[in-house]
Amino acid sequence: MSMTTTAGHVHADPHHIGVVIEHPGPASKRIVTAYGFWIFLLSDIVMFSCFFAAYAVLSGQTAGGPKGSEIFEQRNVAIETVCLLLSSFTCGMASIAADVRNRFWYYLGMAVTCVLGVIFLIIEFREFADLIARGYGPSRSAFLTAFFSLVGCHGLHVSAGVLWLLTMMAQVFAKGFRADVLRRMMCFALFWHALDIIWVGVFSVVYLLGGGT
């Protein structure tokens, strides 16, 4: 990265701003891949914002059915939140382990992430099953439709994330820490952290704001 000859400086400073910027050519594949996935994640967040907007509009339209404060259980939501938060942390540990090529900590971090994600899904599934068994399914009221579609959409993302996580463990097991496997691992970590950010919105807006008053 050292400065080149004077002729090189003329090309490196096309607007004569006195600052020489060396253009090293196209960005590396790792940056391009992660940036593309970042754009996808942002579009996914925009999609979630539509579900949030629908929930905000419909949260009072209970059509004689239950209100949020009657069906939400804060204790379960708190356990779910802690599970996702800790899984975000262990996912970070697994990415560090992948960067330093440490298989033991990588498998351990990913396994703990997987267990926490599955606990989250089980709690959420039982909550949904319980609501439907009591007759409060998504067709009961506009509020419940918005609730099931928003929280269910997040749950589907977590399910997909768990499948992806297992795939990444299998790929490292079969192929080792190859450059392409590490790129996928980086995208997976971005995905998992983004899901946690969306969950912050879900528990704040749906469970705490919708459960109060």
The footprint of another protein (CB under 8 A) covers: 1, 22, 24, 27-31, 33-35, 37-39, 42-43, 45-46, 49-50, 52-54, 56-57, 74, 78, 81-82, 85-86, 88-89, 92-93, 95-96, 100, 179, 182, 186, 189-190, 193-194, 196-197, 200-201, 203-205, 208-209, 211-213
User: Which among 104, 117, 114, 116 has a CA at the least distance from the CA of 177?
Assistant: 104
Least Å distance between CB 135 and another protein?
25
CB nearer to another protein: give 121 or 198: 198
CB nearer to another protein: give 33 or 159: 33
Least Å distance between CB 45 and another protein?
6
CB nearer to another protein: give 76 or 137: 76
- 77 vs 39: CA distance, rounded Å: 29
CB nearer to another protein: give 83 or 144: 83
CB nearer to another protein: give 67 or 193: 193
